[in-house]
Amino acid sequence: MLYANDNNGHFPKGLGEVVLSGGDLFSYPQFFLVPWSNMTPPTGATPQQMANQINGGGHCSYQYFMAGKTTADATPDTIMAIENDGENPTHKVCVVFGDERVAVLSLPEIIQNFCSQRARDAAKKDRSANGATPATAP
Protein backbone atom coordinates (compact mmCIF):
# COMPACT_ATOMS: atom_id res chain seq x y z
CA MET A 1 0.00 0.00 0.00
CA LEU A 2 2.87 2.37 0.68
CA TYR A 3 4.02 1.91 -2.91
CA ALA A 4 0.50 2.59 -4.19
CA ASN A 5 0.18 5.67 -1.99
CA ASP A 6 3.39 7.05 -3.51
CA ASN A 7 2.32 6.17 -7.08
CA ASN A 8 -1.14 7.70 -7.51
CA GLY A 9 -2.91 4.59 -6.24
CA HIS A 10 -1.19 2.20 -8.67
CA PHE A 11 0.24 -1.05 -7.35
CA PRO A 12 3.63 -2.19 -8.66
CA LYS A 13 3.77 -4.34 -11.80
CA GLY A 14 5.85 -6.84 -9.84
CA LEU A 15 7.31 -7.16 -6.37
CA GLY A 16 10.72 -6.17 -7.71
CA GLU A 17 9.44 -2.63 -8.24
CA VAL A 18 9.18 -2.28 -4.48
CA VAL A 19 12.98 -2.46 -4.31
CA LEU A 20 13.20 0.38 -6.81
CA SER A 21 10.91 2.60 -4.76
CA GLY A 22 13.60 3.20 -2.17
CA GLY A 23 13.73 2.21 1.44
CA ASP A 24 15.75 -0.55 3.02
CA LEU A 25 14.57 -3.60 1.06
CA PHE A 26 17.68 -3.51 -1.13
CA SER A 27 19.68 -4.15 2.07
CA TYR A 28 17.51 -7.14 3.05
CA PRO A 29 17.17 -9.47 0.04
CA GLN A 30 16.03 -12.30 2.33
CA PHE A 31 12.81 -10.29 2.86
CA PHE A 32 11.50 -11.83 -0.36
CA LEU A 33 12.00 -15.44 0.81
CA VAL A 34 10.28 -17.57 3.42
CA PRO A 35 12.67 -19.35 5.82
CA TRP A 36 11.99 -22.81 4.28
CA SER A 37 12.52 -21.55 0.75
CA ASN A 38 14.27 -23.63 -1.88
CA MET A 39 15.12 -20.40 -3.72
CA THR A 40 18.14 -18.17 -3.40
CA PRO A 41 18.01 -14.52 -2.33
CA PRO A 42 18.39 -11.97 -5.10
CA THR A 43 22.04 -10.97 -5.38
CA GLY A 44 21.87 -7.99 -7.72
CA ALA A 45 24.58 -5.39 -7.12
CA THR A 46 22.10 -2.60 -7.85
CA PRO A 47 18.42 -2.15 -7.00
CA GLN A 48 17.56 -2.59 -10.71
CA GLN A 49 19.45 -5.89 -10.93
CA MET A 50 17.77 -7.10 -7.74
CA ALA A 51 14.32 -6.07 -9.02
CA ASN A 52 14.96 -7.94 -12.29
CA GLN A 53 15.92 -11.07 -10.36
CA ILE A 54 12.86 -10.87 -8.11
CA ASN A 55 10.51 -10.39 -11.06
CA GLY A 56 12.33 -12.99 -13.16
CA GLY A 57 11.67 -15.92 -10.86
CA GLY A 58 13.67 -18.10 -8.51
CA HIS A 59 14.33 -15.33 -5.99
CA CYS A 60 10.92 -14.53 -4.47
CA SER A 61 8.65 -16.75 -2.35
CA TYR A 62 5.44 -14.89 -3.16
CA GLN A 63 2.90 -14.94 -5.97
CA TYR A 64 1.68 -11.39 -6.55
CA PHE A 65 -1.79 -10.57 -7.91
CA MET A 66 -2.01 -6.76 -8.05
CA ALA A 67 -0.07 -5.99 -11.25
CA GLY A 68 -2.00 -3.44 -13.31
CA LYS A 69 -4.43 -2.72 -10.47
CA THR A 70 -5.07 0.31 -8.30
CA THR A 71 -6.20 0.88 -4.75
CA ALA A 72 -9.75 1.14 -6.14
CA ASP A 73 -9.48 -2.57 -6.96
CA ALA A 74 -8.41 -3.54 -3.45
CA THR A 75 -10.90 -4.26 -0.71
CA PRO A 76 -9.86 -5.46 2.76
CA ASP A 77 -10.52 -9.03 1.57
CA THR A 78 -8.63 -8.78 -1.74
CA ILE A 79 -5.79 -11.29 -1.85
CA MET A 80 -2.77 -9.29 -2.94
CA ALA A 81 -0.10 -11.99 -2.61
CA ILE A 82 0.37 -15.51 -1.33
CA GLU A 83 3.35 -17.55 -0.29
CA ASN A 84 4.24 -19.82 -3.19
CA ASP A 85 7.49 -21.55 -2.33
CA GLY A 86 8.03 -25.02 -1.02
CA GLU A 87 5.99 -26.67 1.67
CA ASN A 88 5.30 -24.52 4.67
CA PRO A 89 6.00 -26.59 7.80
CA THR A 90 2.60 -25.55 9.17
CA HIS A 91 0.89 -26.88 6.00
CA LYS A 92 -0.69 -23.47 5.67
CA VAL A 93 0.12 -20.47 3.50
CA CYS A 94 0.81 -16.82 4.33
CA VAL A 95 -1.66 -14.53 2.54
CA VAL A 96 -1.42 -10.73 2.24
CA PHE A 97 -4.80 -8.98 2.01
CA GLY A 98 -5.83 -5.58 0.67
CA ASP A 99 -5.88 -4.04 4.13
CA GLU A 100 -2.22 -5.09 4.59
CA ARG A 101 -3.22 -7.85 6.98
CA VAL A 102 -1.26 -11.09 6.78
CA ALA A 103 -3.05 -14.31 7.62
CA VAL A 104 -1.91 -17.91 7.67
CA LEU A 105 -4.59 -19.96 5.93
CA SER A 106 -5.18 -23.54 4.88
CA LEU A 107 -5.61 -24.36 1.20
CA PRO A 108 -9.43 -24.69 1.52
CA GLU A 109 -9.57 -21.26 3.17
CA ILE A 110 -7.51 -19.75 0.35
CA ILE A 111 -9.75 -21.32 -2.29
CA GLN A 112 -12.83 -19.97 -0.49
CA ASN A 113 -11.27 -16.48 -0.37
CA PHE A 114 -10.36 -16.59 -4.08
CA CYS A 115 -13.88 -17.73 -5.01
CA SER A 116 -15.44 -14.95 -2.92
CA GLN A 117 -13.06 -12.42 -4.46
CA ARG A 118 -13.92 -13.56 -8.01
CA ALA A 119 -17.64 -13.31 -7.23
CA ARG A 120 -17.20 -9.76 -5.88
CA ASP A 121 -15.11 -8.77 -8.92
CA ALA A 122 -17.70 -10.22 -11.31
CA ALA A 123 -20.55 -8.43 -9.55
CA LYS A 124 -18.60 -5.15 -9.66
CA LYS A 125 -17.89 -5.64 -13.37
CA ASP A 126 -21.58 -6.40 -14.06
CA ARG A 127 -22.65 -3.25 -12.20
CA SER A 128 -20.16 -1.19 -14.19
CA ALA A 129 -21.25 -2.72 -17.50
CA ASN A 130 -24.87 -1.92 -16.72
CA GLY A 131 -24.07 1.69 -15.82
CA ALA A 132 -24.91 1.19 -12.17
CA THR A 133 -22.96 3.07 -9.55
CA PRO A 134 -22.38 1.85 -6.02
CA ALA A 135 -24.86 3.10 -3.47
CA THR A 136 -23.61 5.82 -1.20
CA ALA A 137 -24.58 6.55 2.35
CA PRO A 138 -26.87 9.55 2.88
For residues 113-137, give the mean pLDDT: 74
The Cα–Cα gap between 80 and 100 comes to 9
Q: What percent of the chain has pLDDT over 90?
A: 19
Predicted confidence at residue 138, as pLDDT, reads: 46
Query: Residue 128: what pLDDT?
Result: 76
Query: Phi, psi at residue 82, to the nearest 5°?
Result: -135, 155
Q: What is the pLDDT of residue 8?
A: 92
Cβ atoms of 15 and 32 closer than 8 Å: yes
List, in order, residues 6 or more apart from 92 with CB less than 8 Å away. 104, 105, 106
pTM of this structure: 0.75
Mean pLDDT of the chain: 84
Give domain limits for the chain.
2-129
